[in-house]
Amino acid sequence: MRISFIIGAVLIAAIGIFVFQQWPHWFPAEVPSKMTRAQAQQPSSSQPPLVLPAASTPMTSKGDAMDTGEATVLRPEPLPQLDQSDEFVRQRIADWSLPAAWSARPDLLSRLAVIILNTADGSIARRQLGYLAPKSKFQVEKVGELTFIHPQSYARYDVLVAALTSVPPEAAARLLQHLSPLLQQALARLGDHRKVDLVVAQGLDRISQLPEVSGSVEVLQPKVMYTYADEKLEAMPEFEKQMLRFGVQNIRKLKTYVQVFKAQLASL
């Protein structure tokens, strides 16, 4: 069983939540919450998949002590059934800076599985995150006849990115390593039978490869929704288009976090 992809799953889920917060104002195309077998068999991104270490050391915050001869570690607690795992998960993420609205919803691991699949595919898990409607509106500014994204639109994500990058990767990996069988079951229910770590690696690679667009970003409003004036930006997958609205500074923080996270995975 592999431990390292779990924190990656949490990272992707949190980013998916943040990405969705402005969805009603942009790009209304439907995104399926369930991948087909053909989608599941699609090759990963151009970068080689992240190689994740196996979970050979049982360590959790609770459980029975076990003497290894060198140090005392803790046996993982018995897992509940997938359909009865919500409270089990909530108790173990209570100290994390994740949105309360997300952790209070039912079927945490099943929804997390959908988010992982959509992120790896470059899509947005709309049905799983629809309740996180934004309180503030997407803002633009006019410069003559041109329209640009207002800096305040980027600033709305500062607190969210700070909360996300404050989650200690090592502590989360140690706490959640034993949830991997349940997450694998959740993926199987969606018709995807790949290893979870491979899917998570795709999502992490997608985050690592996010474009950094400095300066003012011009947008158009042909009808109700805004689109990017730059055809190359508009042609990107939905996930990347949404992430651009974090602003270049927040994107750099996220990419740095993922880079540190990957380095830590290699040391486990």
Contact 42, 192 (CB under 8 A): no
Provide the 3-class DSSP secondary structure of residue 214: coil
Angle at the Cα of 231 from the Cα atoms of 225 and 232, rounded to 5 degrees = 120
CA distance 243 to 235: 14
| pLDDT value at 23 more than 60 | no
Question: Would you state the structure tokens that stand for residue 160, as one six-digit string?
Answer: 């969210």
Angle at the Cα of 75 from the Cα atoms of 74 and 79, rounded to 5 degrees = 130
For the segment 86-136, what is each residue's pLDDT rounded down to a tens digit? 999 898 888 887 778 778 889 999 998 898 899 899 998 777 666 665 578
Question: Would you state the structure tokens that stand for residue 69, as one six-digit string?
Answer: 């001869």
Segment of 30-34, 49-53, 120-124 carrying the highest mean pLDDT: 120-124
Catalogue the E-assigned strands of 60-110.
Answer: 65-67, 72-74
Question: Would you state the structure tokens that stand for residue 172, as one six-digit string?
Answer: 């989360």
CA distance 247 to 155: 8
Structural domains in the chain (count): 1
Contact 188, 110 (CB under 8 A): no
CA distance 76 to 159: 33
Neighbours of 223 (CB within 10 A): 7
CA distance 125 to 128: 6
Lowest mean pLDDT among 8-17, 144-153, 188-197: 8-17
End-to-end CA distance of the chain: 13
Among candidate residues 122, 123, 157, 119, the one with its CA nearest the CA of residue 138:
157
CA distance 54 to 70: 20
Place of tokens 């998916």: 16
pTM (2 decimals)?
0.71
CA distance 229 to 237: 15
For the segment 41-50, what is each residue's pLDDT rounded down to a tens digit? 343 333 444 4
Provide the 3-class DSSP secondary structure of residue 143: strand
Gyration radius of the chain over CA positions? 19
pLDDT for the residue numbered 29: 33
- Domain carrying residue 65: 5-267
Average pLDDT, the chain: 75
| pLDDT classification of 261: cutoffs 50, 70, 90 | confident
